């Protein structure tokens, strides 16, 4: 097959994939709209999709909501970046030094299952309830998918490649840098992609449970306790959270497809499909 034919085939598959997704969204919105318009559900609890989308559009023009959104995204970005800076080196260390992995395994397995939301009271008492609370919990929750995918990726490194480099006189750190890290990079990227969703969930959840000041979660919380509850505002806020998650995931999938096509081809998996399982929080 010629290069042009392969390009056209790939383009047609991409178009078909996005078309199916668009149809799914339209059908879901139509069902949402029908439930509200038919009176099957109280409009005060579940407004029609058209009202929710209209309100979501109005929120973009609201400076107060934009401030809420910017605050949430700041906490999300800082927490995710710090988690990656901690998890990748730690994963490389644990995945390449069995002695350290064995010594710390019990501690890691004890901490990993603890729900991040359960730590809100403790963290709030220690460091307060501002931006630092959200960032801390995002770091904790996002750490695990990146850490475990990094360790998982190191286990799949071709031992022949490592031995070949050692035969030329390279030792531990050099082998790790030139062979292990590039081989594990697709799995690290998958862990990071999983962590972006986890970080977004924790940011908004923490704001709803214990947020003060600004944040989309705070906006949703106060819309919920209003009398009567502003359901259109609540659902519009949820729409923007979901859209942000979709956009970020799509960008990361595109980056994976461009950077690690060779890895997906070797494993026979579709570009953008997760290469390893991550831990949800």
pLDDT digits (tens, 9 = 90+) for 171-229: 667 777 777 888 888 899 999 999 999 999 999 999 998 867 889 999 999 998 887 88
pLDDT (tens digit per residue) in 64-117: 999 999 999 999 999 999 999 999 999 988 888 889 888 888 998 999 888 888
Confidence band of 281 (pLDDT split at 50, 70, 90): low
Report the CATH fold assignment for 51-267: MetI-like fold (1.10.3720)
- Residue 198: the pLDDT is 94
pLDDT in tens, 30-48: 887 787 777 777 667 788 8
Residue 51 scores a pLDDT above 60: yes
% of the chain with per-residue pLDDT over 90 = 38
Q: What is the model's pTM?
A: 0.81
Query: What was the pLDDT predicted at 2?
Result: 62
Q: Both ends of the chain: CA-CA distance in Å?
A: 45
């Amino acid at each position: 097959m010629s290069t042009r034919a392969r390009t056209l085939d790939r383009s047609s598959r991409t178009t078909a994939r996005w078309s199916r997704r668009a149809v799914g969204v339209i059908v879901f919105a139509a069902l949402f709209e029908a439930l509200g318009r038919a009176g099957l559900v109280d409009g005060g609890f579940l407004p029609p999709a058209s009202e929710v989308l209209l309100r979501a559009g109005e929120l973009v023009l609201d400076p107060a909501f934009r401030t809420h959104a910017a605050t949430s995204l700041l906490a999300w970005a800082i927490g995710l970046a710090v988690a990656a800076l901690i998890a990748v080196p730690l994963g490389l260390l644990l995945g390449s030094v069995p002695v350290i992995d064995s010594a710390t395994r019990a501690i890691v397995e004890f901490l990993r299952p603890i729900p991040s939301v359960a730590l809100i009271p403790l963290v709030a008492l220690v460091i307060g309830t501002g931006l630092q609370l959200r960032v801390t919990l995002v770091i904790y929750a996002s750490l695990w998918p990146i850490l475990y995918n990094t360790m998982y990726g190191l286990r799949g490194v071709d031992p022949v490649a490592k031995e070949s480099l050692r035969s030329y006189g390279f030792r531990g750190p050099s082998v790790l840098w030139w062979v292990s890290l590039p081989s594990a990079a697709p799995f690290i990227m998958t862990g990071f992609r999983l962590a972006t969703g986890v970080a977004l969930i924790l940011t908004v959840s923490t704001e709803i449970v214990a947020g003060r000041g600004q944040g989309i979660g705070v906006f949703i919380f106060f819309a919920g306790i209003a009398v009567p509850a502003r359901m259109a505002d609540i659902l519009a806020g949820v729409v923007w959270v979901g859209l942000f998650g979709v956009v970020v995931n799509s960008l990361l999938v595109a980056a994976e497809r461009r950077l690690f096509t060779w890895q997906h081809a070797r494993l026979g998996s579709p570009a953008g499909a997760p290469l390893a399982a991550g831990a949800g929080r």
